[in-house]
Structures are given as C-alpha cells and as structure tokens.
Amino acid sequence: MVTPAVSRAERVREQVLDATVELVAAVGVERLSIDEVANRSGVAKSTIYRHFPSKQVLVVEAVHACTSIPLVTDSGSLREDLISCFSGMTKASYEGRLGDMMMSLMDAAQRDPELNRLVRAQTDQKRRFATEVLERAIARGEVSADLDVDLTVTLLSGPLVYTKLVRRMPLTNELIAAVVDSVLAGIDVGIAGGLRTK
C-alpha cells in the first residue's frame, strides 16, 4: 500500500478533534466525555489518551483546530475597514463550529486557567485587530487622536457579541454596518464636534 497523503497519526488526530468540536458544541465542555469522543470519532479511548493527556488539552487543541485568523483590510476608509474587520472576526469566532462552542468555552474558562488563557488570548487578539484599524484612522487624520480607542472597541464589539451570545440572533451585515455607523456617528460629535475630518 502506498503511503497516504496524511499519516495515520494525523488522521486519528483530526478525527478526534473533529468529534470533540462536535461534542462540545452539542453538550458543552463540562459534559464532554472521552468515551463519547471515542464513539463518535471511531478512535479507541486508549488511543485518545495517547494523543491527549487530559480533557483540558483536548478541548484547547480542538478550539485551535477550528480557529482561523481573519484578514485585516486597509481600504483607507475607517468605515469599510471596521465593517470588514468585524464581519470577519465575528463570523470566524461566533458563528460556525467555533461559535457553537463559544458560550460553553467562556463558561468553562471561569474555572479552568488553561481555557481562560485561551479565550482571553482570542478576545485580546480580536480587540487588537480593531485597535489597529482605529489607530490607522487616527494616523491618517480621519479620527482625532483624542479618541478613546479602547472604549470604541468595546462599543463596537459589545453589541455584536451581545446579539450573538445573549440574544442568539444572527449577525447580519446590516447589523454590523448599523453598529459601525452608530459608533462612528458618536465619534463625529464625541469630543468637541467635527473630530472626524473626512
């Protein structure tokens, strides 16, 4: 038999992580059981333990496996960049497989230091992307340097996360645009009026 494209070890690893993602999305982190992962993945429980020493590690790697880093655009327009940025980020993190895990992940992160670091790192990264977009706008004079960037990121992220996680409503492009436009409108008159030059 020829050597397959992916080794057996890799194939096993993928199957296990895939089943883990499905299970966490379905029953949550707390009720995730290795037995069930073994059943769904078709991988023996003993083999799972050979690859992942603990449930904690398994979940962390499963999250990593379905985490994608969205592109940060630089169109020259703050509005366009923010919409693009938040559209990419929210759809990557709060929809699809990762989105289905997110709530349970955040809950478990309150008690698990490892998961806490993971979730916090992802949150911080998303905030950094948005911060970059805002600081570029400041650099080119589109927005006043007096802008409270951190608050603005919260004003932008909050409503979207709240809509998805708490209200469990879809994150439409219309909503993202409406949030961005509303916050930009606030920036326009925010500090002393006419701070946004464009």
Partner DNA sequence: ATCGATCGCTACGGTACCGTAGCGATTCGC
Partner DNA sequence: GCGAATCGCTACGGTACCGTAGCGATCGAT
- Which residues of this chain interact with a second copy, rule CB under 8 A? 27-28, 30-31, 103-104, 106-108, 110-111, 123, 148, 151, 154-155, 157-163, 165-168, 175, 178-179, 182-190
Site string for DNA, 50-89 (x = CB under 7 A): xx--xx----------------------------------
3-state secondary structure at position 32: coil
Q: Which does 72 bind (CB under 5 to 8 A by kind): a second copy, DNA, none?
A: none
Sign for the CA dihedral angle at 8, 46, 68, 135 comes to negative
Burial class (CB in 10 A: 0-12, 13-18, 19+), 77: middle
Q: Which does 130 bind (CB under 5 to 8 A by kind): a second copy, DNA, none?
A: none
CA distances from residue 127 to 131, 132, 159 in whole angstroms, order as listed: 6, 9, 14
Query: In whole angstroms, how large is the CA radius of gyration of the chain?
Result: 20
Secondary element (H or E) of residue 48: helix 45-51
**Cα 174 from Cα 181, distance rounded (Å):** 10
CB of 104 to a second copy, least distance (A): 5
Question: Treating both helix axes as pointing N-terminal to C-terminal, what angle do 8-27 and 96-109 enclose, rounded to 10 degrees?
Answer: 70
Q: Which does 40 bind (CB under 5 to 8 A by kind): a second copy, DNA, none?
A: none
22 or 81: CB nearest DNA: 22
CB of 17 to DNA, least distance (A): 13
Binding site for DNA (CB under 7 A): 1, 3-4, 7-9, 12, 31-36, 42-47, 49-51, 54-55
